[in-house]
Amino acid sequence: MSGSLVIAGLGPGAEAMVTPEVRAALEQASDVIGYIPYVARIAPREGLRLHPSDNRVETERARHALQLASEGAQVVVVSSGDPGVFAMAAAVFEAAEQGPRAWLDLDIRVLPGISAMFAAAAAAGAPLGHDFCAINLSDNLKPFELIRRRIALAIEADFVTAFYNPRSLARPHQFAEALALMQDLAGPERLILFARAVSTPQQQLRVVALKDARPEMADMRSLVILGSSRTREAGRWLYTPRRV
């Protein structure tokens, strides 16, 4: 049997959000590779090797997956959310392009998952109901100056903006800087959603005006959505009308 490599999205946390095609791929797998907490979601069974690895080793993990698939294994690389959004799919194609030519010819499939921003939006109402963008606030892979520039242009375009990886222990001050920039450019009354551990029993949602937003409202498990100028509250719901 020749090897294969599936890059699968597990969704934001709830098992009821894992698609049947991802579930089927996991049932066929000989090897599951991913960041420790995502691999921890996979039930062990005979004949399945689990390869949990630490954060920030995406390239090594991608090479390992490609190597195993090239040796004949049925490999599934698991990401949380959607694997194409600030996750493992791009890392695998980078590694495949830089590795032996045969790696690009492997049987590779990407299986989409429910991305954190859609689960957060759904829990809060429909804040992404109009044109929107998604920005990764981690500056591990890009300069913070580019992040500032993108925030400014997103506000100028009046996009709703979803922020992934807003805050980590390694860079606590940057989200404060990003938030100050938003307050400056979008004004004190603009609504912002802090969504934490979406779809899990620990889920917390909080909607505030920018003037009341504090950096501590976000942590490593948070997804933050800054509304457009039209985003509004109705009862307990946050939504962005379809009309401008």
Does residue 17 belong to the site contacting a second copy (CB under 8 A)?
yes
Q: How far apart are CA 149 and CA 3, in angstroms?
A: 43
Which stretch in 28-36, 90-98, 174-182, 203-211 sits in contact with a second copy by CB under 8 A?
90-98
Q: Which of 41, 148, 150, 206 binds a second copy (CB under 8 A)?
A: 150
Does residue 57 belong to the site contacting a second copy (CB under 8 A)?
no
Residue 107 structure tokens: 């049987």
CA distances from 48 to 34, 43, 53, 148 (A): 14, 9, 16, 44
Does residue 113 belong to the site contacting a second copy (CB under 8 A)?
yes
Does residue 191 belong to the site contacting a second copy (CB under 8 A)?
no
Phi-psi region of 187 (alpha: psi -120 to 50; beta: other; left: phi over 0): left
Q: Quick one: 69 or 108, whose CB is closer to a second copy? A: 108
Q: Quick one: 75 or 92, whose CB is closer to a second copy? A: 92
Measured torsion, CA atoms of residues 29, 33, 35, 38, in degrees rounded to the nearest 10: 0
Does residue 96 belong to the site contacting a second copy (CB under 8 A)?
yes
Phi-psi region of 86 (alpha: psi -120 to 50; beta: other; left: phi over 0): left
> In degrees rounded to 5, what are phi and psi of residue 26?
-65, -35
Which stretch in 66-74, 115-123, 170-178, 180-188 sits in contact with a second copy by CB under 8 A?
115-123
Which stretch in 18-26, 41-49, 66-74, 174-182 sits in contact with a second copy by CB under 8 A?
18-26
Q: How far is the CB of 120 from a second copy (least distance, A)?
A: 9
